């Protein structure tokens, strides 16, 4: 047991920390949003359109991956329907845009709603089963989207869709350089919003549900509702990414969302590991980034996801986040004893 001096100094430290915390948000928020936004925007003028296009695809990929990260690494659920949850909203937005001469930019938010609804459907199915059967049920859902919707001419049309030029509030977004900032905003906004949700009772409830549903119930957490919320959140972010796909890619076909893409998403969140969103961004860069930018060396691209997944599961079950925590711990040790409170999930082994 600590003696009274220890207790007093500890509570002084925590009070100081509390003070710092209450003053920090504005600076912290500005840094969290501002710095990455500026960095991402600075890339645009110094890269070719082809590279910028790939970066945009990677950002949208990461948005969807963050959704799956919450589902898998926070809620402890699983989904192999994620590609379908990106693809279906993308195709619906493309189709509406092409049929009704609407701007894909204005239609993009519809993707969130479609993804959210798909998430609710998958949640309703998945709640009736557990363990391995969740994998099978979500795989079946992914297959159903693929086989049913992706083959319907009324949705995928015949050949390429002709998209209307993106515009919003009278502004035309004619070039990839003009659209890019929108994608950056979608990406930063999703990451920031997710961080905030996870760093609240929502994230802590998901952690408890994953750790032990019985304990969660006894703490007043509505376990089925939170599980469903995780599926709907994952669906909403997948739908957000999908909804902006037509705007960015100008052309979407079912081929852009093969079933194996669901596997790639899963590989990314497994490699990321439990905890911070940073891990999933790193894993997305590693796996999908390699695929995008090394498409010439397709051999590596094809095997990187599966290999990374197997290596992670067998050698580093904590994933990139575990590395991050180790390095963070070392740094903190060097910097000194005083360090600000860790956010939930950061402490996982």
Pick the binder of another protein from 160, 219, 295, 297 (CB under 8 A).
Answer: 219
Q: Measure the CA–CA gap between 71 and 269, rounded to whole angstroms.
A: 10
CB of 183 to another protein, least distance (A): 20
- Regarding 212 and contact with another protein (CB under 8 A), the answer is yes
User: Between residue 313 and residue 342, which ones bind another protein under the rule CB under 8 A?
Assistant: 341-342
**Contact range with another protein by CB under 8 A, out of 93-101, 104-112, 161-169, 209-217:** 209-217
157: tokens are: 């049309």
Part of the chain binding another protein (CB under 8 A), chosen from 11-19, 108-116, 120-128, 251-259: 11-19
Q: Least separation, in Å, of the C-beta of 225 and another protein?
A: 9
End-to-end CA distance of the chain: 25
Nearest Cα neighbor of 267 from 65, 70, 57 is 65
Task: Give residues with Cβ within 8 angstroms of 239, minimum separation 6.
Answer: 85, 86, 89, 111, 112, 113, 114, 115, 116, 118
Choices 72-80, 97-105, 196-204, 280-288; region in contact with another protein by CB under 8 A: 196-204
Window 19-58: contact mask with another protein (x via CB under 8 A)? ---x--x---------------------------------
Whose Cβ is closer to another protein: residue 147's or residue 201's? Answer: 201
DSSP annotation string for 112-154:
HHHHHHHHHHHHHHHTT--THHHHHHHHHHHHHHHHHGGG-HH
Q: Which residues contact 118 (CB under 8 A, 6 or more apart)?
A: 81, 84, 85, 88, 89, 145, 235, 238, 239
User: Which member of 47, 98, 125, 217 binds another protein (CB under 8 A)?
Assistant: 217
Query: Would you tell me which residues interact with another protein (CB under 8 A)?
Result: 1-2, 6-7, 10-11, 14, 18, 22, 25, 193, 196-197, 199-202, 204-205, 207-208, 211-212, 214-223, 229, 341-342, 344-345, 347-349
């Amino acid at each position: 047991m600590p003696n009274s001096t220890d207790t007093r100094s500890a509570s002084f430290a925590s009070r100081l920390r509390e003070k710092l915390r209450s003053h920090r948000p504005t600076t912290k928020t500005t840094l969290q949003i501002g710095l990455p936004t500026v960095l991402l925007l600075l890339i645009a003028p110094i890269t070719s359109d082809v590279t910028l296009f790939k970066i945009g695809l990677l950002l949208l990929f990461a948005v969807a991956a963050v959704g799956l990260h919450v589902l898998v690494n926070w809620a402890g659920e699983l989904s192999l329907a994620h590609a379908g949850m990106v693809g279906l909203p993308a195709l619906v937005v493309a189709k509406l845009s092409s049929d009704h001469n609407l701007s894909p930019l204005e239609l993009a938010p519809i993707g969130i709603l479609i993804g959210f609804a798909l998430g609710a459907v998958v949640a309703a199915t998945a709640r009736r089963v557990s363990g391995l059967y969740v994998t099978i049920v979500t795989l079946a859902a992914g297959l159903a989207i693929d086989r049913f919707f992706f083959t319907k001419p009324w949705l995928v049309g015949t050949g390429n869709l002709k998209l209307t030029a993106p515009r919003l509030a009278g502004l035309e977004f004619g070039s990839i350089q003009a659209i890019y900032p929108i994608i950056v905003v979608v990406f930063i906004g999703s990451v920031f919003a997710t961080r905030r949700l996870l760093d609240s009772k929502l994230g802590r409830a998901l952690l408890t549900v994953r750790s032990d549903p019985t304990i969660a119930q006894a703490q007043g957490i509505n376990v089925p509702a939170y599980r469903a919320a995780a599926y709907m959140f994952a669906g909403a972010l997948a739908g957000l990414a999908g909804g902006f796909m037509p705007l960015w890619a100008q052309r979407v076909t079912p081929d852009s969302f093969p079933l194996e893409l669901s596997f790639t998403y899963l590989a990314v969140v497994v490699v990321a590991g439990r905890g911070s969103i940073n891990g999933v961004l790193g894993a997305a860069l590693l796996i999908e980034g390699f695929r995008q930018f090394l498409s010439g060396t397709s051999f590596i691209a094809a095997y990187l996801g599966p290999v990374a997944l197997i290596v992670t599961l067998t050698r580093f079950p904590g994933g990139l986040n575990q590395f991050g925590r180790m390095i963070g711990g070392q740094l903190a040790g060097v910097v000194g004893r005083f360090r600000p409170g860790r956010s939930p999930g950061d402490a996982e082994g």
